[in-house]
Structure formats: structure tokens, C-alpha cells
Amino acid sequence: IDSARQFLPVPAMKETIRAMAYSKLNALHWHLTDTASFPLETPSQPNMTRHGAYGPEEFYSVEDVRDIVAYATARGVRVIPELDVPAHTYAGWQWGPEAGLGDLVTCASGWDQTELHPWAGRSLEPPSGQLNIANPHVHRILADVYADVVQSFGGPSMVHLGGDEVIVGNDGSFVACWNATGSPVLQGVRDNMEGCCAGGRADKHSFYNLWVNFTHRATRSLRAAYRAANLTAPDKILQWGGTGTGGEPAIYNMF
């Protein structure tokens, strides 16, 4: 269920869970965040909710999440939270410059094609945005968000890290982000961050390696959040996979 692109109040979430129970469906994959919104209370990083919710009442508090999870558990439904990264990110992450942390997202734009930097050419749908994984503050904030999610959801047995449709591209492709001239992530490739990118921007493996390093770091942060809460690590940590047909140089999926 996608409550990132369309906010669903708690009663609507419960209605879905009831329907699942009646139909003997036992796993609710909850797509919580996307470029359009970050509708989740994260006490350790309140700017995420402040800048990411559709409105002052359109977000899920810690109590809301616990209520939904308890309601689902009582009906035999497992809730699998997904916070989609490193692509599909904008809302909730745009406050970095005013906090002195630099850009937390890159390739960001709104819904309007008449803007100075319209979304078309930067993403597959509006609004656009991907994490600036060359900014070290991104990893710290994401670790805090994971810790809050683990606490709110009570240590879910399965977590989804997202991982689909990372826009890489180049200056000649129909859409480009990480490998567009001027991108801070491209600078990370040139700096060979964590030994990712010996082949430079012309080698697709540079960006796959960069992404793999990010995913390993995100996974370690998630597992650390479970340990800090004295909870059993999840049975599975999910990552979107591609079809194997590839999409380079524009769109990358793990496969």
C-alpha cells in the first residue's frame, strides 16, 4: 500500500488490514516514503516530518504506527515498512542547506514543468530527487531515521530498503542525475569514494559500486538500530531488484 503518494488516514489503513484478514492475506508491504512525501514522525530527526508531511495532520505519529502494527498483528497480518532510498527521495530531505548540512538530495525539483529546473530530464515522474550519497550527513540522518522506525514498528521482522530506479544517466541521455555534470555524486565518483570508481564516470560499475557501498552502509545502520533497541535483527532486509534487461545508462536497478 502506498501512503507516500496519497496519504491514507489510520481508519483507511485499518480498513485495508481488515479486508486482508478476511481474504487470508498476511503481509502488508507499506510504502511509507517517496519523493512526494515523508509522512512519518521521526523524533530524532523532526525536520523529516516537518518538511515531508503533506500537511500538519497528514502524517503517522509514533502512536499511530504502533496502533496500526498492533491492529494488524491481532489479525495475523505482518507489516513490512519500506523507506525508499537512495532514489525516490525529496520531501523531508530538502532542509539540509538551512541547517548547514549542505544538500541532502540532488536533482531536486517540484511538480511544475515551467520551473528553472523542471523534473523532466531528472526523473521518471514528478517531483524529482535522489539522495546525495556523497554527503556524509545523509548517512547519519538515515541511521537516526532507521532507529526511529525500529522503535515505532517494534522491531519488524522484515524491512524494505527500497532501491529501485536509481537515475544515473549522462549528459546525453533522456534523463540523468548522479552522472549529470555538476552532480555532487559525480564528484564522489571522481574522488573514488571508498574505492568505488576506478573506472570513472564512463564505467557503469562505478555507479553500481557506489550504490552497493551505500546499501551496505544502510544495512549496517539498520542492524545497529536493532541492537541498540535490544531487538532481534530482521529475518530479511529487502532490496528492489531489476528485470535483468538493464536500463543503463539512464536507469539502474539491482539484479
235 is catalytic: no
Q: Which of 41, 82, 148, 165 is catalytic?
A: 165
The C-alpha cell 557503469 sits at 204
**Terminal CA-to-CA distance of the chain, rounded, Å?**
24
194 CB neighbour count, 10 Å cutoff: 14
115 is catalytic: no
How wide is the angle at C-alpha 30 spanned by C-alphas 6 and 95, nearest 5°? 60
CA distance 54 to 255: 33
- What are residue 252's DSSP bridge partners? 166
At position 143, the amino acid (one-letter code) is A
CA distance 33 to 11: 19
Q: Which of 88, 103, 148, 160 is catalytic?
A: 88
88 is catalytic: yes
Q: Which of 31, 34, 148, 160 is catalytic?
A: 34
In 59-193 the beta strands, taken as DSSP E runs, fall at: 78-85, 105-109, 128-131, 158-162, 166-167
Q: Which residues contact 46 (CB under 8 A, 6 or more apart)?
A: none
In the sheet where 158-162 sits, what is the strand order? Answer: 27-33, 78-85, 158-162, 236-238
Active site residues: 34, 88, 165
